[in-house]
């Protein structure tokens, strides 16, 4: 596989190798790809969790298990205020 890099990326990779943290440019690129894939996996996990939480909320809504908006906002304001006071 051949990959074309911009001069800026080549320079930054060379800096990492020169720092001694990596021994080759390939190591730098592999580490970058590992981080990219790790971030993508994390985003997928977070998205799946959010979708599950939304599903729970929709199920509660279907059952009529709801809180009036003014009550929900009042509770949210109280939570924010209490967190600010803890700092």
Query: 7-38, pLDDT tens digit by residue?
Result: 999 999 999 999 999 999 999 999 999 999 99
Which range among 3-12, 32-41, 78-87 shows the weakest confidence by mean pLDDT?
78-87
Tell me the domain boundaries of the chain. 7-86
- CA distance linking residue 58 with residue 51, whole number of Å: 10
71 pLDDT tier (thresholds 50, 70, 90): very high
56 pLDDT tier (thresholds 50, 70, 90): very high
- CA distance linking residue 37 with residue 25, whole number of Å: 18
The radius of gyration of the chain from alpha carbons, rounded to an integer in Å, stands at 24
């Amino acid at each position: 596989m051949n990959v074309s890099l911009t001069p800026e990326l080549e320079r930054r990779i060379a800096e990492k190798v020169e720092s001694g943290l990596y021994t080759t440019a390939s190591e730098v690129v592999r580490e970058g790809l590992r981080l990219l894939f790790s971030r993508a996996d994390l985003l997928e996990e977070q998205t799946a969790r959010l979708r599950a939480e939304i599903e729970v909320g929709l199920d509660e809504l279907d059952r009529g298990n709801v809180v009036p908006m003014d009550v929900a906002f009042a509770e949210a304001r109280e939570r924010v205020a209490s967190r600010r006071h803890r700092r």
